[in-house]
Amino acid sequence: MNRKILIIRADELRHIALSSMFKLNGFTVCEVIQKKITRDKSSLSHLMTLHFELRKRVENDFFSDIVSKTKIVKSLQIESVNINSNDVISFAKDFNPDLVITFGCSILKNPWLNLFKDKILGIHLGLSPYYRGSGTNFFPFVNNELGAVGYTLMKLNQGIDTGDIVHQSYANFESGDDIHTTGSRLIRKMFDDILNISRLSDINLEFKFAIQQPNIEKFKLYRRQDFTEEALAQAQKNINDNLVENHIKNIKLERSKFPLIREII
């Protein structure tokens, strides 16, 4: 089955690697690429700068082999403010995808949701409804809640990580892990899961049976400005105090605090 996949993504290595995985596995891929919003490096502390540099190195270790094997496909590069423009939507409509996947892009609005009803699979690196918004696999390290580290595939709506859940999975930890190794290993696992879901004979049926998120308002919503030097220092302290190792020892109890809403594979 040669399905046509439209991927709407950001332009860092982990986002590029998602497209590469589909290309390597025989899917016809088209991309809408949202240009990176450049951080003001002068506003970052030394600790934050080291954090982002390490993430880049770890992601290179996990994903560069995939990206190096693939060829360029049909793509459209855009600014984030243009993601809901008529030109971009016309580009997508002309491709006529069987499935649309979003990864790291801005919020899609009604023209997208109406045109591709039950076809847009949103990737959220975090477990909804427990952690929504920004840095949702970072803040569990701050809050000593590693049972909430994972990913969610959801039926997209206009909210912030509020869509009905198609599939979720927890992160797998190894002793000595940090935020970046945990996150990159989770993304590699997620890629395999998304490929398997995309091969299902009736993927649209999974959208129709997606489960609404319960009690969204009672859980955590983080914004980009919540990522502070103090939060980063607390996360690192927790890791140094054997946060990961303690989680591995008590994994069933830790995960029971954050039950998955829907798991289909």
In the chain the first and final C-alpha atoms are separated, in Å, by 19
Q: Kindly tell me if the per-residue pLDDT of 81 is higher than 70.
A: yes
Torsion on CA atoms 169, 232, 61, 265, rounded to nearest 10: 0
Tokens 């109890």 -> residue: 253
Q: What are phi and psi of 82, to 5 degrees?
A: -100, 5
Beta-bridge partners for 182: none
Residue that the structure tokens 């983080």 belong to: 222
Q: What is the pLDDT of residue 95?
A: 96
Q: Which residue has the higher pLDDT, 255 or 36?
A: 255
pTM of the model: 0.95
Provide CB contacts within 8 A for 218, sequence distance 6+: none
pLDDT of residue 188: 96
Q: What 3-state DSSP class applies to 122?
A: strand
pLDDT of residue 39: 64
Residue 71's pLDDT is what?
Answer: 77
What angle, 0 to 180 degrees and rounded to 10, lies between the N-to-C axes of helices 13-24 and 46-67? 10
Tell me the per-residue pLDDT of 17-61, one tens digit each, with 9 for 90 and over.
999 999 999 999 999 999 877 666 667 889 999 999 999 999 999
- Kindly report, residue by residue over 220-240, the tens digit of the pLDDT: 999 999 999 999 999 999 999
- Give me the pLDDT at residue 105, please: 94
Q: Which residue has the higher pLDDT, 44 or 219?
A: 219
76 pLDDT higher than 70: yes
Which domains, ranges and CATH numbers included, belong to the chain? Answer: 4-256 (3.40.50.170)
Strand, coil or helix: 132: strand
